Amino acid sequence: MVQSVELLLDDALDAAVRAEWQVLVDADLPSQGRHRGESNRPHVTVSVADEFEELDRGIASTPLAVLFPIRLGPFVVFRGKHATLARLVIPSRDLLSLHDAVSSLAGTSHGLRAHTAPGHWTPHVTLARRLTEAELAAALRRLDSVPAVLTGATVALRRWDGERKVEWPVG
């Protein structure tokens, strides 16, 4: 089982990211916009683990500040067998404070993923996964005219259970 803690975006920023997803769909390219699940929405993954029992225990007594301005900046590419195209989240004091608080509450949760630990985390909003090199080049060409920076605010923190395909609010 894999679960995540995710930061959600305000309606206008959510719509701006969805518009970028649609540009990719319209170009017949991989896009997060192809996933029609009700819970599929633009988000910033803050932490990932097999379970978050420690987080669940700590969240009740620790208020988390989840409402703050956020800026999505340039495109970033994560490489593996295929590429993942995303918008880099420009770090702010609020974002880093939230990440530190969640990381502290997650503590030694079973299966905590190292790539979301402080100092190893790259905050981003995914636009498309599993792109070939040719698709990545085409996607970047299609997105060439979108704004360089998208601004908005965060509105909530949610938990996502990837095995059961369910979400629920944190706090």
Query: Pseudo-torsion of CA 126, 19, 154, 97, nearest 10°?
Result: 30
Contact 43, 8 (CB under 8 A): yes
| pLDDT digits (tens), the chain, 171 positions | 789 999 999 999 999 999 999 999 999 999 999 998 888 999 999 999 998 877 777 777 788 889 999 999 999 999 988 999 999 999 999 999 999 999 999 987 889 999 999 999 999 999 999 999 999 999 999 999 999 999 999 999 999 998 888 898 887
Domains and their CATH numbers in the chain:
3-161 (3.90.1140.10)
